[in-house]
């Protein structure tokens, strides 16, 4: 099984566990991530999700066999490419609080998987690299959108266009990660943060996550204020 699923009280830990392929996102891995997250979304016993990888990597990107097939098929059909995206977009679309505990290289689609989480906690061995241009393809899966929002245009260009790799401590400095911690403390730190979020009422956590996603796109401060007011009034009766 390329995905290990464990419950720690109300926190669901998903560990990508295919070290022979450095936890690459292949068909079976994607299916299992989608199934686990979809089930958690409707499970009242789950209040937060942590995503991590089995050493030596967090996730090395899309399985090369999938990429080779897409190249052979003249770039592949849009549906085939989107199927690879499902392995990280299902995490981004989850209404639950999510944390990426990045314990090693996060490359390409693996970098996307980390950015699709609400928070990135980086170990000292974390390495963030887009990887797309190294194999001659354009970044995909919302990579440039998420990256620019996370670190700003100049840092995004340095990483995506100029091929800079970002190590764990630097990731925290530029805002790509919330914090960089010792590798042996990474999962414990992630669990502590996730547990704090999981202890909120589920309705409150879901509403707050939705607000954080929506308010930057509101047309005015007044509109954002009204969004918060509506959800705050609902929470009084929670």
Question: pLDDT of 218-227, one tens digit each?
Answer: 999 999 999 9
- Sequence ranges of the domains in the chain: 3-196, 201-236
Can you name the residues that pair with 11 across neighbouring β-strands?
8, 48
The structure tokens 């990135």 sit at: 120
Residue 176: Cβ within 10 Å count: 25
Contact predicate 112/90, CB 8 Å: no
- Distance, in Å, from the CA atom of 197 to the CA atom of 193, rounded to the nearest integer, reads 7
* pLDDT single digits (tens) 113-136: 999 999 999 999 999 999 999 889
Task: Return phi, psi of residue 13, to 5°.
Answer: -105, 120
Classify 3-196 by CATH class. alpha beta
Question: For the chain, how far is it from start to end, CA to CA, in angstroms?
Answer: 39
Query: Global pTM?
Result: 0.94
Contact predicate 12/50, CB 8 Å: yes
Q: Which of 109, 128, 145, 106 is closest to 33 using CA atoms?
A: 109
Which pLDDT band holds residue 72 (cuts at 50, 70, 90)? very low
3-state secondary structure of 98: strand
Can you name the residues that pair with 154 across neighbouring β-strands?
none
């Amino acid at each position: 099984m390329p995905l290990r699923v464990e419950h720690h009280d109300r926190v669901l830990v998903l560990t990508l566990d295919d070290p022979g392929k450095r936890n690459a996102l292949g068909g079976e891995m994607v299916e299992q991530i989608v199934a686990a997250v979809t089930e958690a979304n409707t499970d009242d016993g789950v209040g937060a999700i942590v995503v991590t990888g089995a050493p030596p990597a967090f996730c090395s990107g899309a399985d090369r066999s999938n990429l080779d097939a897409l190249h052979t098929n003249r770039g592949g059909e849009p549906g085939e490419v989107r199927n690879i995206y499902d392995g990280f977009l299902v995490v981004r679309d989850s209404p639950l609080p999510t944390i990426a505990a990045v314990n090693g290289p996060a490359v390409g689609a693996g970098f996307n998987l980390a950015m699709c989480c609400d928070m990135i906690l980086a170990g000292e061995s974390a390495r963030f690299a887009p990887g797309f241009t190294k194999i001659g393809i354009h970044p995909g899966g919302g990579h440039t959108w998420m990256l620019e929002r996370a670190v700003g245009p100049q840092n995004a260009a340095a990483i995506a266009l100029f091929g800079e790799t970002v190590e764990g401590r630097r990731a925290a400095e530029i805002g790509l990660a919330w914090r960089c911690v010792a590798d042996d403390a990474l999962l414990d730190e992630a669990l502590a943060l996730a547990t704090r979020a999981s202890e909120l009422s589920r309705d409150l956590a879901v509403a707050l996550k939705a607000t954080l996603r929506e308010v930057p796109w509101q047309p005015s401060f007044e509109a954002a204020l009204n969004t918060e007011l509506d959800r705050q009034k609902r929470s009084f009766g929670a």
